[in-house]
Amino acid sequence: MARPQRIVLVRHGESEGNADDTVYEREPDHALRLTGTGWRQAEAAGVRLRQIFGQETVSAYVSPYRRTHETFRAIGLDPEKVRIREEPRLREQDWGNWQDRDDVKLQKAYRDAYGHFFYRFAQGESGADVYDRVGAFLESLHRSFESPDHPPNVLLVTHGLTMRLFCMRWFHWSVGEFEALSNPGNGETRTLLLGADGRYTLDRPFDHWRVPESYGATG
């Protein structure tokens, strides 16, 4: 089994929806583009990633959204060193339709009160649904490690919530711990590093917007 030395997660650069939330009323979420700022954020992430990867090969998985594909393109990895796959299971939390701005504000207020993990958008997904499909992707990812020539680097170009849920699933964080985490910024990365003991550690923590809530012992 060829386990990668690092698994890098990167959030897409700023999108049209990040800059103007009224765009969701007339454009599908998956079709939104990067803004000029978003392209610059993705290019800056690319500078850092090319330094990290050097001349090593990379196995890249990209959410099927336009803004994640544009982010990957702006990162600018050597096409001779990277194999890329579109991975629908790494997509954003689904709303399931065009979004009315006032309804979105109301549903997000409900979600804040109810909990980001369990609250299900009326026509879309809950955080728990995203967690389940991220878990299914992880099973596929682990199977890919069985190849003796698997690249030493994995890159996931995805979304903020999906990044947090990927790490929650990988590190077995509780729901209470997940609920306390803030999204990474646009173009930010988190890296899982393989240690000498065969275990992965996160290069830096996610910011917390509150103290994690505990419901009791787990395990």
Residue 203 lies in a domain: no
Residue 202 lies in a domain: no
pLDDT value for 35: 98
Domain count within the chain = 2
Strands (E), the chain: 6-11, 58-62, 82-86, 153-158, 189-194, 200-202
Per-residue pLDDT reduced to its tens digit, 138-197: 999 999 999 999 999 999 999 999 999 999 999 999 999 999 999 999 999 999 999 999
pTM assigned to the model: 0.94
The domain in which residue 114 lies consists of 94-125+172-182
pLDDT value for 100: 87
Residue 33 lies in a domain: yes
For residue 18, give Cα distances in angstroms to 32, 36, 104: 10, 12, 14
Q: Are 151 and 56 in contact (CB under 8 A)?
A: yes
Catalogue the active-site residues: 12, 92
Same domain (yes/no): 109, 86: no
Same domain (yes/no): 58, 114: no
Residue 27 lies in a domain: yes
Per-residue pLDDT reduced to its tens digit, 69-120: 999 999 999 999 999 999 999 999 998 888 888 888 899 899 999 999 999 9
Same domain (yes/no): 177, 104: yes
